[in-house]
Structure 1
């Protein structure tokens, strides 16, 4: 089965990312423990400080599907539901193992 890459962004009103910091940090820590999670990260866009970038790699679709049912996903979604979101785009892509372009791994 192919790996799954999830990539996207969420644009929020000023201050919302700061408010969600603890919930997002907890979400990242718990998700990285999940079976099938290869990489999971949120970041702040340098050029748009109110945009949260999302980057995930999953072993397969089954692992991603299980992630959506995880208790910490429900907790994070509850925190996110109160956020003032002005735009969002998150997509998944199937992928084959890649090759290193820079770095040691």
Structure 2
């Protein structure tokens, strides 16, 4: 069974363009990783300064390897100070699982 994660990012309004660009690059690189089943970023239609990241990973090992990639460090550096609060991470479990 894969690991599904959703992360909500509340972006500082004047940083939205640079954060969007950083997410696009991160998603493009991450989708090429072994074990990355899904890695997509969306802008909320209801809350204009919220980005939602939807991830699906083969296993914890794939997540751990992802976090060590240089482009993840680059993303974190590029988005430092760009969020109103820490991201809200939801690691998901299917109902009845």
Deviations 1:56-87 (A, max 9, x none): 0000110011111111101101111131x213
TM-score (normalizing by structure 2)? 0.87
State the SS of the aligned residue for 2:13: coil
Q: Distance in 2 between matches of 1:12 and 1:61?
A: 27
Q: Distance in 2 between matches of 1:69 and 1:92?
A: 19
Q: Distance in 2 between matches of 1:61 and 1:90?
A: 15
Q: CA deviation at 1:92?
A: 2.1
- Please say which structure displays the higher CA radius of gyration: 1
- Structure 1: runs of 5+ lacking an equivalent: 96-105
TM-score (normalizing by structure 1)? 0.81
Deviates more, 1:50-59 or 1:74-83: 74-83
Q: Distance in 1 between matches of 2:35 and 2:81?
A: 29
- Give every structure 1 segment of 4 or more consecutive aligned residues whose post-TM-superposition deviation is greater than 4 Å: none
Q: Is the 8 A contact 1:4 1:57 kept in 2?
A: yes
Going by fraction, where is strand more abundant, 1 or 2?
Answer: 1
- Structure 2: runs of 5+ lacking an equivalent: none
